[in-house]
Structure 1
Amino acid sequence: MKFSTLVVAAVSAVGALAAPAFNETLLSARGGTPSSEGWHSNFFYSWWTDNQGQATYTNGNGGQYSLNWSGNGNLVGGKGWNPGTSGRVINYSGTYQPNGNSYLAVYGWTRNALIEYYVVESYGSYNPSSAAQKKGTVNCNGANYDILTTWRNNQPSIDGTKTFQQFWSVRNPKKNPGGQISGTVQNWAAPSMAWKEISG
């Protein structure tokens, strides 16, 4: 298994969190932040939106960033590492105030095999594991995580449109959203850290 990116990000999506082509005109009309990726303050950052809502992503000092959104649509953005590594300990803190469906999660991809993964610390009104097949439960850092998997058929990925497996590790119980939130995640499976937000 070869790791791709490891990013601390905020994501809003109802489908796969890949980055297909975006419409610059529509982005401008909605007043959002154009999709992009690169390096900032020695961290890799990645930002993508499907242009269905209004969203603003802003890089801050070090590993900090902010993300504000409204309306329906998919988005993912944040900071981390590219390539990622297994065994990384990720400390996070910030303000998490979802309205509707949303995730606060470590997020990433692996190659060989192509896998999209999430370590979900908290979520809004929808448990993202609801439609996945449960494989078991593990205890890590004093918390229980339900382990689940599902498949995405012919969907956008980091390697174009592909069929790939998703893995979910969902904290049970979730951390309470609605304000200040912090924690530690041992990244034992995959390469990218993300805040994931599903709006609408």
Structure 2
Amino acid sequence: MKFVFALFALAFAGSFEPLVNTTSNEQCTVTSNQQGTCNGVKYELWMSGGGSGCSCTIKGEGAAFKANWNNCGDYLCRVGNGGSTATYAYTKQGSGGGYSFIGVYGWTTNPLIEYYIVDDWFSGGGNSGGTQKGSFSVDGGTYNIFQHTQNNQPSIQGTATFEQFFSIRTAQRTSGTISVSQHFDKWNSLGMKMGSLYEAKLLVEAGGGSGSIDYSSGSI
């Protein structure tokens, strides 16, 4: 399953580089698997392969960041401190390999849920591989909702069986607002029960390829 590699970033956090914690206005650039806090904003970089030029720069301006990947395997950079609403604007170029997701990402506990709210992707991306549960309109667009079961896969609580929830926007966009809490409410109404929020971050995930994304603004 294409999400397995990204999950190792959470399941085996102890193997990461030491955390980078800053409180200045300087940018923070990381080039290896790492999680930490930069200018008061939490981040995580994960990639399953070496590649070259693979990095994530946290800009020190809210949750804005710049990500670069070049054959990095499963590459995932996410930034933010969580919240009920996300706003963003960015430019992107290149490719995202066999799959890609741009939007909001996180987990809940009790029950353990991995979730994606996807507003954009590179060519060939934006496919959850799950079962469609419904759709709804919010923030000027329509999202299709999917659910998928991960059996005995790595998670933030070790190897576990858990559900993945997806809202995938039918019309891609590179700027806007995501009403995160309204997706949670809709999922709940469809019987997709969430738990206590563990994280909510702006995300780019690429399953290979060579590309970049540069957020001119971002907050969550």
TM-score using structure 1 length: 0.77
State how far apart, in whole Å, the 2-side matches of 1:38 and 1:52 are.
20
Cα distance in structure 1, aligned partners of 2:72 and 2:60: 29
SS of structure 2 residue aligned to 1:45: strand
Letter of the 1:187 counterpart: V
Corresponding residue number in structure 2 for 1:198 = 207
Q: Can you give the 5+ residue segments of structure 1 that lack an aligned partner in the other structure? A: 1-12, 25-31, 176-180
8 Å contact 1:98–1:197 — kept in the other structure?
Answer: no
Residue 27 (structure 1) aligns with? none
CA 1:46 to 1:116, structure 2 compared with 1: closer, same or farther past 3 Å? same
The alpha-carbon deviation at position 172 of structure 1 amounts to: 0.7
Distance 1:53 1:23 in 2: 17
Q: Choose between structure 1 and 2 for higher RCO, CA contacts under 8 A separated by at least 6 residues.
A: 1
Is it true that 1:15 corresponds to 2:3 in the alignment?
A: yes
What corresponds to 2:38 in structure 1?
Answer: 40
More strand, by proportion: 1
In 2: Cα distance, 1:46 partner to 1:164 partner: 21
> Would you tell me which structure has more helix in proportion to its own residues?
2
Residue 182 of structure 1 is aligned with which of 175, 181, 186?
175
- Partners in 2 of 1:23 and 1:47 — Cα distance? 10
- Aligned twin of 2:76: 76
Tell me the residue number matched to 1:115: 113
Q: Shift in Å at residue 158 of structure 1?
A: 1.1
Partner of 2:60: 61
The whole-number CA distance in structure 2 between the counterparts of 1:185 and 1:50 is 28
Q: Shift in Å at residue 127 of structure 1?
A: 4.1
AA aligned opposite 1:106: V
Distance 1:156 1:80, change over 3 A: same
Q: List aligned pairs for 1:79-90, cutoff 5 A.
A: 79-81=79-81, 84-85=82-83, 88-90=84-86
TM (norm. structure 2) is 0.70
> Matched residue pairs, number?
172
The answer (yes or no) to whether the contact 2:120–2:126 under 8 Å persists in 1 is no
Structure 2 unaligned blocks of 5 or more = 18-29, 185-196, 210-220
SS in 2 for 1:157: coil
Give the SS at the match of 2:171. Answer: coil
Give the distance between the partners of 1:116 and 1:157, measured in 2 at CA: 9
Instruction: Compute the displacement of 1:117 (Å).
Output: 0.4
Distance in 1, matches of 2:59 and 2:135, equals: 36
Residue 80 (structure 1) shift: 0.5
Q: Which amino acid aligns with 1:42?
A: G
Post-superposition shift, 1:173? 2.0
For the 8 Å contact 1:71–1:199, the answer to whether it is kept is yes
